[in-house]
Amino acid sequence: MTLQNLLKQWFDIAADDLDVAKGCLKKYYPPKLSIACYHAQQAAEKSLKGFLIYCDIEPPHIHNLAELCKMCMEKDSSFNSILELCDYMNPFGVVTRYPKEKEITALMAKTAISQAQEINKFCLSKITVLKTKQCILRRMIKIFLR
């Protein structure tokens, strides 16, 4: 499988998680707030892991968004700008899966979805920037070697 196909799979699953999260708010009465938060966290996790894969790093089998973000920061320090978002999203990977762990409000669910979208967009933008930089570098090397 090519890197491009592998990345597409990771980001497609992240998009699916975001769709499910949004659907939990729109398609149910009462809305499934905990499930929406859980899928938003999963979308963010898959986006961060997608970036790590792009950087040729095997993502660890962890669900801690802050730790994954810090791993991304080792490759690109600008990931520091989404660390707070990751910290906010972190609990939704666990506490939403058990009864009465944490009371989830509609505002929390909407915020989780919004932040997952922001993390996803950020990760995708970094992959695009890195691809462009690599293409330019390859061209420069070819010109230099002529």
Which of 36-50, 81-95, 132-146 has the highest average model confidence (pLDDT)?
A: 36-50
pTM: predicted TM-score of the whole model, two decimal places: 0.86
Domain ranges, residue 57? 3-145
Q: What's the burial of 127, exposed, middle or buried (CB within 10 Å: 0-12/13-18/19+)? A: middle
Number of domains comprising the chain? 1
Residue 143 pLDDT: 56
Higher confidence at residue 95 or residue 122? Answer: 122
Please give the backbone phi and psi of residue 30, each rounded to the nearest 5 degrees, phi first: -70, 160
Residue 85, domain CATH: 1.20.120.330
Task: Write out the DSSP string of the chain.
Answer: --HHHHHHHHHHHHHHHHHHHHHHHHSSSS--HHHHHHHHHHHHHHHHHHHHHHTT-PPPS---HHHHHHHHHTT-GGGGGGHHHHHHHGGGGTGGGSTTSSPPPHHHHHHHHHHHHHHHHHHHHHHHHHHHHHHHHHHHHHHHH-
Cis-peptide, bond into residue 30, ω within 30° of zero: yes
Res 65 pLDDT > 60: yes
Note the pLDDT tens digit of each residue in 123-142.
999 987 656 555 555 555 55
